[in-house]
Amino acid sequence: MQRRNFTTTAFGLALACSLSAAPAMAQTKWDLAAAYPATNFHSENMAQLVSDMDKTTGGVFKITLHANASLFKAPEIKRAVQGGQAQMGEILLANFQNEWPLFGTDGLPFLATSFAESKKLYQAQKPLLEKKLAEQGMLLLYAVPWPPQGLYTKKPIESAADLKGIKWRAYSPATARIAELVGAQPVTVQAAEFSQALATGVVESTMTSGATGVDSKLYEHLKYYYDLQAWLPKNAVVVNRKAFDGLNKGSQEALLKAGMDAEARGWAAAEKVNADTLAKLKANGMQVLPPSPQLKADLAKVGDTMLKEWLEKAGPEGKALVDAYRK
C-alpha cells in the first residue's frame, strides 16, 4: 500500500514539474537596447512593437525595451547586437559611416531634404544595408527617419562665418565634419548627455532635429533654431541573426510583421512630430526661423564638399546608390 502511494505521488510530482516547466521553456525573452528617452517618438514606436509582439504571441515572446542608453551607450549598441549581448538594438546609421561609408548616406547634408526624398533614398539604400548587416551577423528589422535637421545656437547666425570658433555638439562623423568645414569646434556628445553638456557650457550649438530639441529641452539653453531641413538621418532597429534563427517560424513571422508595422507607423509619426516639436520650441520661447540666403548658400557648399568626399570613400557602390536615388 505504501509502495503504491509512493509511486502515485512520484508520478504526480513529475507531471506537475513537467507542466510547470513547459511555459518557461516556451517563453522567449529578448532585450532591445535603445539610446533615446522613453518619451521620444522612436522609443514610443519600439514600445508599441514590444506590445504587439506580446499580444501576437500570447505572451510567449517578451521583449524588454531599455531606453535612454540604460543598457548600452549609443556607440556600443551595434557591437552589442553583433556579439549577442542584446538580441535587438536601435542604432543611428550615420554614426557608423567610418566603418562603412554607406551607413552614412542619409547623413549627407542637402542630399535628401524632405520625407519623400528620404523615403526614395532609403529604397535605394535598403538592399545594400541588408547585405552589409547580414555579413555582420545581423538582420535589418526596420528603419525610421528623424525629422529634418536644423541649426540651434545661442546667438543669431547670418552666415557660416558666424559659426567660426563656436563649440558645436557633434554626434556623428557627418556632424563633426560640418563643424570642421565651417570653422566650429566639434565636441562629441551623445543624446543622453546633451542637456548636461549645454548646462555646463561644453557645447553652445548643434545641428539636430526639432524632436531632439524638445527631448533635451534645448530652449532652456539656446535661443535660435534655423529650420535648414538639411537631412533626415535614420534610426534602424537591428536583430542578431543567430537569435532570430533560433526562433520558431511563428515567432519569426510575428517579429517581421511587427517590424513592417513599426516602419510604416514610424515614418508617419516622424512627419507629425516635426510639426508638433517646432510648435513646442516656439511655445517655450525659442525663435524658429528660416535660414538667411547667405547661410543657406554657405551650407550648400559644405554639402557639395561632403558629398564629393563621401563618394571618394564610398567608391563605385556609393556612386551607384546616389545615381539610383537621383533617377
| Residue 159 domain flag | yes
Q: Could you list the residue range(s) of the whole structural domain that residue 100 is in?
A: 28-326
Q: Is residue 82 part of a domain?
A: yes
- Determine the 3-state secondary structure of 280 from DSSP: helix
Q: Spell out a b/e string for 243-265, using b for 16 or more CB atoms within 10 Å of the CB, else e.
A: bbeebeeebeebbeebbeebbeb
pLDDT of residue 1: 47
The total number of structural domains that make up the chain: 1
- The answer to whether residue 277 sits within a structural domain is yes
Is 188 inside any structural domain?
yes
Return d(Cα 66, Cα 46) in angstroms, integer.
10
pLDDT at residue 12 above 80?
A: no
234-240 and 61-66: which strand pairing? unpaired
Cβ-count burial of 29 within 10 angstroms (0-12 exposed, 13-18 middle, 19+ buried)? exposed
Q: CA–CA distance from 278 to each of 148, 150, 274, 327 (Å)?
A: 11, 11, 6, 32
In a domain, 206, yes or no: yes
CATH number at residue 88: 3.40.190.170
Q: pTM here?
A: 0.83
Tens-digit pLDDT profile for residues 137-194: 999 999 999 999 999 999 999 999 999 999 999 988 889 999 999 999 999 988 888 8
Q: What is the pLDDT of residues 46-86, one digit of tens each?
A: 999 999 999 999 999 999 999 999 999 999 999 999 999 99
